[in-house]
Amino acid sequence: MIDGLELSKEFPVGLGLFRGKAILRAVDRVSIHLEQGETVALVGESGSGKSTLGRMLLGLLPPTAGTVRYEGADLATLKGAAWRRYRSEVQAVFQDTSASLNPRRTVEDAVAASLIFNLGMRAGAARAETGRILDRVGLDPGEFARRYPHQLSGGQRQRVGLARALASRPRLLVADEPVSALDVSVRAQVLKLMIALQAQDNLAMLFITHDLGVARWIARRVVVMYLGGVVEEGPTEDVFANPRHPYTRALIAAAPMPDPARARPVRALKGEIPSPLAPPSGCRFHPRCPIARPICSTQIPERITLPGRSGPQPAGGHVAACHFAAEDQET
């Protein structure tokens, strides 16, 4: 349904008054593909480029290179009605609802605006429809329709964010850390609501998160990014059961387990994420990699397709960008 092909995004960054500009390559030749009804988790730490990639798919940022195809059509060529259709069918949910909701608009107005703008509804019809949508996201319209964002809890605000996204009858939801700001108990509510809505509407969802537990729970496929590039991707269970990139393994090992009987297996990864202004040569991960060899600092690793648990896989299989992905690795 949506395809990102070899997408790159560069930002010029001012280094100071007399030092000119540098190029920050936030996303470097990343391809991503989503089918109708499919959830893909995009996982990475800060600076990995996961949000930038999401914004390119949303049409909020033009790629520096590469193309986004929606239903086969190049996004850059969409105009008029086709562009509007794309904008209403591809919707966003963001982490920080206090920034993404207008503080001077009631819940009802926020949702109705999307109905009026995207679907061309009249105000009266939009109002009735708003009530129905608020019901769907678990907010009683009688109680919440006239409230302003500051009169809502974080979980309720995120439900409004979902209601607004759903209003234009989207087919793809790009959710950027939608539950990261929420408390644990509320997070579970919102996640369950999201998968229920997704199933009802057969939505495709790109779920951007730094939280591996959430990614594993919600997505059928997972894409792991590091410093602007994809290091590993594949069916969620394959990637978590048999991670083939040392970074994926390090991420999994670093996640604290809510189980005191199970100590975190290995000592933490050394070093910190390098500046994307000066990414390392060769494999971007090599300065921190426990199994790096000389080739890693000189040669960019190819994407190696790995056999899945159920034998060789077609497109959408388990892929890792590591010189040694196919070898046995002990770390």
Partner 1 sequence: MTRPLLEIRHLVTQLRHEGKGWLPVVDDVSLRIDPGEVVGLVGESGCGKSMTAFSIMRLFPTPAARVASGQVLLKGRDLLALSADEMRQVRGAEVGMIFQDPSTFLDPLHTLGDQIAEPLRAHNIPGDPRARALELIDLMGLPDPPALARRYPHQVSGGQKQRALIATAMACSPSLLIADEPTTALDVTVQAQILDLMRDLRAKTGAAMLLITHDLGVVAEMCDRVYVMYAGKIVERNSTAQLFKSPRHPYTQGLLGSTLSLETSGRKLFAIPGSIPSATQMPAGCRFAPRCPIAADACRVATPELLPLDGGEAACHRLDQTAGDVWARTGEEARP
Interacting residue ranges for partner 1, rule: CB under 8 A = 39, 45-46, 153, 155-156, 183-189, 191-192, 195-196, 198-199, 210-214, 216-220, 236-237, 240, 250-261, 263-264, 267-269, 272-273
Smallest Cα–Cα separation from 180: which of 158, 159, 198? Answer: 158
Measured from the CB atom, the residue of 32 and 219 that comes closer to partner 1 is: 219
Shortest reach from residue 38's CB to partner 1, in Å:
9
How far is residue 266's CA from residue 297's CA, in Å, rounded to a whole number? 24
Q: How many helices (H) and strands (E) in the chain?
A: 12, 12
- Residue 227, burial from CB neighbour count under 10 angstroms (0-12, 13-18, 19+): buried
Q: For residues 66 and 154, which CB has a smaller minimum distance to partner 1 in the complex?
A: 154
**Beta carbon nearer to partner 1, 119 or 191:** 191
Considering the complex, what minimum distance in angstroms separates the CB of residue 69 from partner 1?
25
Choice between 116 and 322, CB closer to partner 1: 322
Nearest-approach distance from CB 303 to partner 1, in angstroms: 23
- Are the C-beta atoms of 274 and 280 separated by less than 8 Å? yes
3-class SS at 310? coil
What minimum distance in Å lies between the beta carbon of 94 and partner 1? 18
Write down the least CB distance from residue 203 to partner 1, Å. Answer: 11
Q: Tell me the C-alpha distance between 59 and 73, whole Å.
A: 13
Instruction: Name which of 8 and 52 has its Cβ closer to partner 1.
Output: 52
Residue 121 or 320: the one with the smaller Cβ distance to partner 1 is: 320
Nearest approach in angstroms of CB 153 to partner 1 is: 5
Q: Measuring CA to CA, which residue among 35, 15, 37, 11 is closest to residue 24? A: 11
Nearest residue (CB) to partner 1, 8 versus 38:
38
Q: How far is the CB of 290 from partner 1 (least distance, A)?
A: 12
Do the strands 2-14 and 90-93 form a parallel or antiparallel pair, or are they unpaired? unpaired
**Terminal-residue alpha carbon distance, the chain:** 38
Nearest to 235 by CA among 207, 213, 216: 216
Token pair belonging to 133: 């949508």
SS3 of residue 103 by DSSP: coil
What 3 state SS string does 317-330 have? CEEECCCCCCCCCC
**CB nearer partner 1, residue 254 or residue 300:** 254
Which residue, among 248, 222, 227, 265, has the nearest Cα to 322 in the 3D structure?
248
Smallest distance, Å, CB 51 to partner 1?
14
Spatial distance between the Cα atoms of 181 and 210, rounded to a whole number of angstroms: 12
